[in-house]
Structure 1
Amino acid sequence: MADDLPLAGRGCIVTGGSRGIGAAVVRLALAQGADVVFGYHSEEERARALADELRSAHPDQHCVPLRVQVADTTQAEGFATTALDRLGRLDVLVNNAGVTRDAVFARMGPQQWHDVIATNLDSMYTITKPLLMPLVKQRSGAIINISSSSGLHGIPGQTAYSAAKAGVIGFTKALAKEIGARGVTVNAVAPGLIDTDMTAAIPQDKAEFLKSLIPGQAFGSPEDVAHLVCFLASDRARYITGQAIEVSGGLVV
């Protein structure tokens, strides 16, 4: 049973869970036995449809969508309180919510910068802070933060995004050292080019060029990332912490 359902009985919170990588994590966590509360910001219809589908597939488990603006401290605290109440316990936190506002730095407006930093980096504080002590007090659990290849290597036109995602990695490493003695692991996952709504917006000629830079000549799938996230959430990864693991198909080697 443990091998088939490595997350059985665990309470899992996923931000940005209504689509893309977040939705893939929600799906796989439910399939591996977890109860899940996931956050979404604007796409209520999509979030409700996903929850209805997964509740039908896993009728004995919880799958609850909650609206939240992760950069807003008050909303994040309310989300945390409600999510914990619905789950009963917390074992896994996946900080996945993020946005891009790509522009060359010389033309980047202050709002573009602030939107990216607030959603991708400030949310590490607003979401993790109210959910940290339940994990620390029970002396077990996993926090997985979704960074990006941009945060590891820097991408032209993504100065704000690269800065925010690099910050996520620094946050991950420092927090892992702070709470490791309490039995809580903290890791970052850094996806490369993944088939999501973000990459769907890339013009076809540029997408083909980017694929040519990847040894396998293809973008990854959200499920490629979700499998690593759920592994890090399980006891199988109990001795892995403070790491930033790239899932990019060898885009940068």
Structure 2
Amino acid sequence: MAMLHASTPPCCTVGLNRSSHRRSASNHRFLLKQHLLGRRAAPGFATRAPAEDASSRSVIVARSLFDNNKNGDDFGDRIIAALPFLLPLLDGLPYAKFIMLQYPFVARAFAPVAPLMYIYHAFPFAPFLVFLAIYNGIVNNTSLPRFVRYHAMQAVLLDVLLIIPQVILNDVWKAPSDELGLQAYILAYNTLFLFTAVCSAYGMGSSLVGLTARLPLVAEAADYQVRDF
């Protein structure tokens, strides 16, 4: 009798096993569902960054090298803008005779320009004709970009500035005989050459790389003379 009360009927045992199996399977499906939902929610909701307004996004604008000239982005235009600076350079080279004697490397640096200088000064009216060609063919040619005409105008004005010192040094104030006057004369020659050479090199280099050069003494006047019609 004690054995009958202590033991559990077989049908009850089977029922309990089935019930526990159902609970175990249900718990397993619940945990699996939570796990899968967690994996799906990670990229969809948990880690998604808040939507940005298009107006709040930072915009990166690539700026061109030619932003400040706006018309000098063509390589041919840059060459045409650089060539007029040969005019003041060739007119200023005669004033380099003292500095070339003192520093021979300056003469070697300008040796490639020597044939062009010889041709330029070989004909009496060559400087005047080149001046007119640049002024009428480039500066007043409104079909060319302003970048080209502006640099050509600066080269023309720089060449015009050489007229006054040329008259003073060649006709009015000739080479003095005293030592102090000779030193001042040489200093005037060297200063005139260095100013012309540096301005011409700067204007030519800026034109070739597409940058707008603003030379001292002539930039404002060139701005006034060159206008876009």
With the length of structure 1 as denominator, give the TM-score of the two structures.
0.28
- Larger relative contact order (CA 8 Å, sep ≥ 6): 2
With the length of structure 2 as denominator, give the TM-score of the two structures.
0.30
Structure showing the higher strand proportion among its residues: 1
Structure showing the higher helix proportion among its residues: 2
